[in-house]
Amino acid sequence: MGAYTLAYIVLLAMAFYVASASDPSPLQDFCVAVNDTNDTVFVNGKFCRDPKLATPNDFFFSGLRLPGNTSNKLGSMVTPANVAQIPGLNTLGVSLARVDYAPYGLNPPHIHPRATEILTVLEGTLYVGFVTSNPENRLISKVLYKGDVFVFPQGLIHFQLNVGTTNAVAIASLGSQNPGVITIANAVFGSKPAISADVLTKAFQVEKNVVNYLQSQFWTDNHTY
């Protein structure tokens, strides 16, 4: 009986392993396969330094102590603290960002393709929300005050608007060393080269002159890099 029980446990464990196995999550937009190993090689993430050569500065970043410049059309600025700023974050799966908002400033609708976000309000009052996937496209939103926390699930369109008359500040915690960001308006109407007007007029059910107008605008990027 003991042998049968052991065999059952082993088979169950193997079945679970097969069912749960998957490719590692990508840490960049794409990674094109190459057959020639003499070609330039990139890894999923960053190459690792010899741990013996690590220094305190590899795990340090002072950029969040200063407010971001919100003097732009959106009235907001995002200052990231990810693996690009903190090399020691490589493989650790977390990052931060500071978001500054002028009065009525907006962090416009965007997605993080590789991370869930937890936003904590440090100062001010924010109207925030995200939209669920098709077919419901349900808006889930709330007004946040100092000390409040809100979660934006990975890959869903979300936004924050300062509804107060004073500056606001928030800290975003993200579940990836390189969460990525796609600002919806910039991607759709500011792509290079431009998406065909035939595509956008049909997708948005508007006249071509409306699409031409939107594509002619300067789409503000409110992120520092």
- For the annotated binding site for Mn(2+), the residues are 110, 112, 117, 158
Whose tokens are 């997605």? That residue is 111
- Binding-site positions read 107, 110, 112, 117, 158
CA dist 144 and 120 (Å) reads 9
In terms of C-beta density within 10 A (0-12 exposed, 13-18 middle, 19 or more buried), how is residue 162 classed?
buried
Q: How many CB atoms lie within 10 A of CB 65?
A: 8
CA dist 62 and 53 (Å) reads 21
Q: Which residue from 89, 118, 113, 98 is spatially nearest to 177, judged by alpha carbons?
A: 89
The angle subtended at Cα 135 by Cα 132 and Cα 137, nearest 5°, is 35
- Binding-site positions for oxalate read 107, 112, 117
Rg of the chain over Cα atoms, rounded to whole angstroms, equals: 22
Residues with Cβ within 8 Å of 112's Cβ and at least 6 positions away in sequence, in order, are: 152, 154, 155, 174, 176, 179, 180, 181
